[in-house]
Chain A
Amino acid sequence: MSTKLTNNQIAWRAAQDIHDGAYVNLGIGFPEKVAQYQPPGREAIFHTENGILNFGEAPPAGQEDWDLINAGKRPVTLKPGASFFHHADSFAMVRGGHLDVAILGAYEVAENGDLANWSTGPKGIPAVGGAMDLVHGAKRVAVITDHVTKDGKPKLLKRCSLPLTGVGCVTRVYTSLAVVDIEGGRFVLKEKLPTLSLDELQAVTGAELLVDGPVADLIVPEL
């Protein structure tokens, strides 16, 4: 067993918590992988903020319709029961509490639920898109991320140091090492890789991991 989950495996784990009939928004990039791992027999309806409910995977090359794209501006297809709507309705779905789950990437997550995922600082061109809207309104706001940065620094922190996307908005974090809930301003450990001790996990986490109840083994198929 490897020492950390791949991005595909993190996405698989997050997909297992999406219930049948859920309305789901997946952030651009890595979170889009979650759609590939829907458990059989469950139907989730995916929302893209540029105005589609129930879109499906990319069309074959050469069959792109550039009026049919997702928020990442990549071509998609439609599933039966799809619908189109304008941007104000789309974000009414977001802020109005109509989405069941939003799954986003992160630069940093804090134990108080703060999320930083839109800006790495004042350099370059600032761009926010729908990130600041998506963190508000979905019944569950989950993050999928490597547990540490490329330099090995913790991404789960007491407080974020980068510009915030939202305050107190994240409810669950799926990482390459663990599943952590945010409850009452604390990180509560729910699952961890069985090959990893609690001390080893704590050593790469920038805030205290509370153990409150059983910690399950984080077991994910090879993907």
Chain B
Amino acid sequence: MDKSVADLATAVAGIEDGMTVMIGGFGGAGAPIELIHALIDRYRASGHPKDLTIVNNNAGNGHVGLAALIEAGMVRKLICSFPRSADPVVFTDLYLAGKIELELVPQGTLAERIRAGGAGIPAFYTPSSYGTDLAKGKPVAEFEGRSYVQERWLKADVALVKAETADTHGNLTFRAAARNFNPLMCMASKVAVVQASRIVPAGGIDPEIVVTPGIFVQKVVEVAHPQQEEDLNRANAVYPGAV
């Protein structure tokens, strides 16, 4: 078994118009910048994929990564908890112009909906958002004297994920707080596409420290020195930049 692929273009090849794509990361930590940029490259060359529904905690920052994907016009709808950032101008302008849809989800509910999607649990009850505008239209039930809101699972066609080390079986470790949504999104997607700083042979990761077991991962591609969104934004980078 070898889930490694040769390059980023191959890694993002199966993503088609109208798909739901989960993208890992919390702000820039754990954001798979190179996979996102490879997807933008494909769109610029072929006009596809477009009309994507993107699941991420945020809505991008500056003009790189997720913000650049939105700016390229590939995203129809965003499911996220916090579409604000230091420089959220790309999403903000499109949203206020009515050109992109937003489904706002409390952060913990977003995480649990993704986990549930990966775990085969179609719905669950949470106290979060009970009695608020974000619970409108959702079923409510009482358990042990407290009220809870029913939430549905969230699944995706593809997840774009950033890991630290992968082995050829797709076992993953993550780095610091770059873990965030990444392990959950591997579980909740039909095809989890992972960029890792290092790919090692099977046996190269101690089983005791595997965070995401390879069963949740379909493709891994090595990106030895991944870019950080924060560094790019401090340099006022724009992707793809002037041609």
A residues adjacent to B (C-beta < 8 A): 48-52, 64-69, 73, 84-88, 90-91, 94-95, 114, 119, 125-133, 136-137, 163-167
Which of B2-10, B47-55, B77-85, B213-221 lies at the interface? B77-85
Q: Which residues of chain B come closer than 8 Å to A125, judged between CB atoms?
A: 83-84, 88, 91-92, 95-96, 102
| Cross-chain contact B184 with A87 (CB below 8 angstroms) | yes
| Cross-chain contact B84 with A88 (CB below 8 angstroms) | no
Docked complex Cα distance between A132 and B109 (Å): 9
- Closest A residue to B147 by CB, please name it: A167
User: CB of B65 within 8 A of chain A?
Assistant: no
Q: A50-B26, A125-B88 are in contact. Are A84 and B128 (CB under 8 A)?
A: no
* Of the residues A90, A126, A127, A136, contact of B128 by C-beta under 8 Å: A136
Beyond A66-B228, A87-B108, A128-B82, list 19 extra A-B contacts (CB 8 Å): A67-B175, A67-B178, A68-B177, A69-B177, A73-B29, A84-B179, A86-B211, A87-B181, A88-B115, A91-B111, A125-B83, A125-B84, A125-B88, A127-B81, A132-B128, A133-B107, A133-B128, A136-B128, A167-B131
- Considering only residues 183-230 of chain B, those with a C-beta below 8 Å from chain A are 183-184, 211, 228-230
Q: Which residues of chain A come closer than 8 Å to B29, judged between CB atoms?
A: 50, 66-69, 73
- Closest B residue to A78 by CB, please name it: B176
| Cross-chain contact B183 with A86 (CB below 8 angstroms) | yes
| Cross-chain contact A86 with B84 (CB below 8 angstroms) | no
CB proximity of B229 to chain A, nearest CB, Å: 8
Q: Which residues of chain A come closer than 8 Å to B105, judged between CB atoms?
A: 128
| Cross-chain contact B179 with A85 (CB below 8 angstroms) | yes
Q: A127-B81, A166-B131 are in contact. Are A133 and B106 (CB under 8 A)?
A: yes
- B57, B82, B128, B228 pick with most chain A CB within 10 angstroms: B128
Q: Which residues of chain B come closer than 8 Å to A50, judged between CB atoms?
A: 26-27, 29, 177, 180
CB proximity of A40 to chain B, nearest CB, Å: 28
Would you call the interface of chain B mostly helix, strand, loop, or mixed? mixed
CB proximity of B237 to chain A, nearest CB, Å: 14
- Considering only residues 21-36 of chain B, those with a C-beta below 8 Å from chain A are 26-30
B residues adjacent to A (C-beta < 8 A): 26-30, 57, 81-86, 88, 91-92, 95-96, 102, 104-112, 114-115, 126-134, 147, 174-184, 211, 228-231
- A48, A50, A137 pick with most chain B CB within 10 angstroms: A50
* Of the residues B106, B178, B179, contact of A128 by C-beta under 8 Å: B106
Q: Which residues of chain A come closer than 8 Å to B129, judged between CB atoms?
A: 132
- Closest A residue to B162 by CB, please name it: A67
Docked complex Cα distance between A189 and B96 (Å): 44
CB proximity of A174 to chain B, nearest CB, Å: 24
- Closest A residue to B181 by CB, please name it: A87
Q: A128-B104, A129-B82, A132-B129 are in contact. Are A84 and B109 (CB under 8 A)?
A: no
| Cross-chain contact A95 with B177 (CB below 8 angstroms) | no
Docked complex Cα distance between A64 and B229 (Å): 13
**A-B pairs with lowest CB-CB distance, top 3:** A91-B108, A133-B108, A167-B131
| Cross-chain contact A164 with B131 (CB below 8 angstroms) | yes
Q: Which residues of chain B come closer than 8 Å to A65, judged between CB atoms?
A: 176
CB proximity of A73 to chain B, nearest CB, Å: 4
Q: Which residues of chain B come closer than 8 Å to A119, judged between CB atoms?
A: 133
Docked complex Cα distance between A116 and B111 (Å): 23
Q: A66-B29, A66-B228, A126-B104 are in contact. Are A164 and B132 (CB under 8 A)?
A: yes
Q: A66-B231, A128-B134 are in contact. Are A95 and B127 (CB under 8 A)?
A: yes
Q: A67-B29, A86-B182, A133-B106 are in contact. Are A127 and B82 (CB under 8 A)?
A: yes
CB proximity of A68 to chain B, nearest CB, Å: 5
Q: Which residues of chain A come closer than 8 Å to B211, judged between CB atoms?
A: 86
- Closest A residue to B211 by CB, please name it: A86
| Cross-chain contact B112 with A91 (CB below 8 angstroms) | yes
Q: Which residues of chain B come closer than 8 Å to A49, judged between CB atoms?
A: 107-108
27 residue pairs bridging A and B, Cβ less than 8 Å apart? A48-B177, A50-B26, A66-B230, A68-B177, A69-B29, A73-B29, A73-B85, A85-B179, A86-B182, A87-B57, A87-B180, A88-B111, A91-B111, A125-B91, A127-B82, A127-B83, A128-B106, A130-B107, A133-B107, A136-B130, A163-B133, A164-B132, A164-B133, A166-B130, A166-B131, A166-B132, A167-B130
